[in-house]
Structure 1
Amino acid sequence: MISFNYETDFQLHQEDLYENWIADVIDSEGKTQGEINYIFCDDEYLLQKNIEFLNHDTLTDIISFDYTMGNLISGDIFISVERVQENAKEYNVNFEEELRRVMAHGVLHYCGYKDKNENDSLLMRNKEDEKMLLFHVKQ
């Protein structure tokens, strides 16, 4: 089950489209969909999570808590809508594209992809690009 939760005024349009897309992302990696919870929030909310759970006093666009067991993909993905908006401006892309990239990024972590070094980051970016194309097929 994929669910969308809101701790801010933001509301994802066409939730069913995003739900089907995330399911396709998981399936395309040969994994099984478990319970994925997206929590959309603001910077302050996510900063508190970052301090409380990761001991990081910095703003971030995403924090994911991975509950994956084997090939059953599960977890909670917290996304700061404010950070996504700022990053979209910085990278000169529209908000929806940057949001999809971040949403895919969280699930790709659960599928085993990392981004702590340059090679892993490059593979992660390529996987994000690949998975974002799956969304366009759905439109």
Structure 2
Amino acid sequence: MSLAISWNNEQEEYEIGDSLITMLEQILQKAGEAEGLHEGEVALTFVDNERIHELNREYRGIDRPTDVLSFAMNETGEDEPEIIYELEEGEELADLPDMLGDIIISVTRAQEQALEYGHSLERELGFLFVHGFLHLLGYDHQDEAAEAEMMSKQESVLAQVGLTR
């Protein structure tokens, strides 16, 4: 097994094509390699601002849309949603891939930020994806040192797949 993405598109503003998913899979492999992680699955969902606003309010208590949300499977706490596996007939828990967590990206916000920062939407989506992935692994940007470390890791991965500013 290797690192994999299972994805879902819940927005209609931007067509999610095979080339974008292939690029995100490359980003996942590079980010995983950099962290010594070679197996697992990430669930990726593309949404609009309205939906991410709802999720942000419900799970983070923040009443506004954001660009990306991450929900790590290894986190437990009162704010974390309960995770329930629905097994297919004949399937066992051991058959399931190692789910790392969920990444939810607002394509609406990504489009706005790409314009604001003067780069492509693909670069912005790649940035948000690797950012979300690092959050799944426990990275955060609560202070300047942690933010600098996370930014360095993100930019390194993006450079490896040709998504520089």
- TM-score band w.r.t. shorter chain: 0.7 to 0.9
Q: Aligned runs of 1:92-111 on 2, under 5 Å?
A: 92-111=118-137
Residue 37 of structure 1, CA deviation: 0.7
Greater relative contact order, per chain length (Cα 8 Å cut-off, separation 6+): 2
What TM-score does the superposition give when structure 1 sets the normalisation length? 0.86
Q: Which runs of 5+ in 1 are unaligned?
A: none
1:46 aligns to what SS in structure 2?
helix
Equivalent residues, number: 135
TM-score with structure 2 length normalisation? 0.74
| Kept in 2: contact 1:7–1:39 (CA 8 A) | yes
Give the greater-gyration-radius structure (CA).
2
Matched, 1:61 2:67: yes
Equivalent pairs: percent with the same residue?
A: 32
CA RMSD of aligned residues (A): 2.0
The answer to whether structure 1 residue 120 and structure 2 residue 146 are counterparts is: yes
User: Relative to total residues, which structure has the larger helix share, 1 or 2?
Assistant: 1
2:16 aligns with one of 12, 17, 22: 12
Q: What's the counterpart of residue 2 of structure 1?
A: 5
Q: What letter is aligned with 2:11?
A: T
List structure 1 segments (4+ residues) > 6 angstroms apart after TM superposition. none
Query: What are the Cα deviations for residues 49-78 of structure 1, in whole angstroms up to 9, with x where unaligned?
Result: 111111110220001100148xx6601000
Taking the TM superposition and a 5 Å limit, the aligned residue runs for 1:30-109 are 30-68=36-74, 74-109=100-135
* Kept in 1: contact 2:70–2:101 (CA 8 A): yes
Aligned partner of residue 16 in structure 2, secondary structure: coil
CA–CA separation in structure 1 for the residues paired with 2:155 and 2:124: 11
